[in-house]
Structure 1
Amino acid sequence: MLPVQAAPGAPADSGLVAEHDPASHDAGLNAAADAAEASIARLYGEPLLRLPSDLYIPPDALEVFLDAFEGPLDLLLYLIRKQNFNILDIPMAQVTLQYLEYVEQIRQRNLELAAEYLLMAAMLIEIKSRMLLPKRQDDLVEDAGDPRAELVRRLLDYEQIKAAALALGALPQEGRDFVRPQLFVEQGLAPSLPDVDPWDLQRAWLEVLRRAKLTQHHRIGRQELSVREHMSAILRTLQAQRFVEFSELFAGQGTVPIVVVHFVAMLELAKETLIEITQAEPFAPIYVRLAYSPA
């Protein structure tokens, strides 16, 4: 027991005493534990003893599905594999009955979800009916095949796709199995310039020179040439000599345009029968002379 002095202003004979009682402390802890056990949930760390009056819980919120199927083929494949049936020889009667039981459970809870399952059930019943019908004489001649063949093909394809999807899902996926590390790099305010090697500068300069050589300019000049003047020059040359070889007639003419005009002038003289172009035999030298006139 610890004596405590009275507060200022209180009577001196009040005799206030603070006493630590272990039993009362244990009782408080037990009451807190009972309240925690009686709570149905915790809201922000505090025990919630009863549900709020305005709380709405949807009817399907607490529904638990033990077996989830992706569709009619998934359910049908599950029933076949569960009972170790041969998928190439499906006992349609047993599978159809089990399938219809599951569809009936779905129909009672969710009619929209059961629509596609009902379609598969109708297909199973149709296949079983075709197997039970007696074959006619024309059917015996032309065998239409097993009615289950198309269903078996669809089941095998679905099983392969499902196995491939499971294999892909088992691969590590970013965001689910691992996270890419991210590193923050603080960039300085001063710009960092790259180091330039002298050889890099030399290669850049050589590349500039190579591109400059690819760019060339061709200037076209205009030169006035007269065919009549060249015709007169050819006639003066032939008057001094009796025969002139073809190549000698173009000697000293200079540039290509002048040679072309000189050749055109020679053709004009031949056209006007003022000159003759002769050759003694094939591949022999060609000679030019003035045309013979009896006058």
Structure 2
Amino acid sequence: MEAARDLALSGASDGVTRLGLGEAVVLRQSHPTDIEGTLYRPLLCLILQGAKDVSAGAISVRCPAGHAIIVSHDLPVSSRITHASEDAPYVAFVLPIDLGLLRGFFDLVPDVPDGAEDERALTCHPAEPGLLDAVARFIALSRDPAAAPLLGPILLQEIHARLLLSAQGAILRRFLHREDPSRQVAQAIASIRASIDEPLSVSALAERTGMSRSSFHAHFKAVTGLTPGQYQKDIRLLEARRLIAEGKASISAVAFDVGYESPAHFSRDYSRKFGYSPREERTGRRNVLEDEVT
């Protein structure tokens, strides 16, 4: 881990450093942060130094250095960097997970029994040595513009393969199976996100995924830590935050755009979620962080 951390720290300043290989980035922060709501896409977040807490509804993980966070589904989360300083900043390697690439390994992955507890879309476990070594080589490769185009895709495959084979890769292995409930939940999430301004019908979502209403509700909460209704509300509020940051529409228009019938109700939910009102957001009394960064 020391090799990966030292490479990530080399010449870095606070913020997001893009490595130029796919969408991989290194994040650096010299101070602990407040709790922030954001949307995690399927990703690997390897904590190289410092620590952070992440939660999604009933799922909560504490992630110190040397641990890897895996997120398998689009997930609205609350996160906070808990350990960071000028002398020892928080440093993390973040790589979006390519689900298509994972599916290409389907016939090669050994049949590993996975328990029901592995349904969770957010997990954090100690990173295995092989994964740490692959990430260190990936970061080092990003400094070699001649070799990166040739070897980058190979290392991306290796990192994905190591995730699948790791102890915490159970949710990813489950995701490869067409009939696994985690796959059905992903389909339901895509439907919710595609129509956040429409009323939520749990029965329709359950029917679309081929489950009973009670079974769908149970699997959805097991995977995301949230009920379908809570998930939709969080997605609506995160999208509203993005629209408010753009500054192109009134607060009322944003409320209607994300499916609220009452701007007053929207404002109350927004304040409970983020700790400040939409108007305070719009007038610049809060700093808006980038929605897709861990």
Sort the TM-score into its range (normalised by shorter chain): under 0.3
Q: Which has the higher strand share?
A: 2
TM-score by length of 2: 0.19
TM-score normalised to the size of structure 1?
A: 0.19
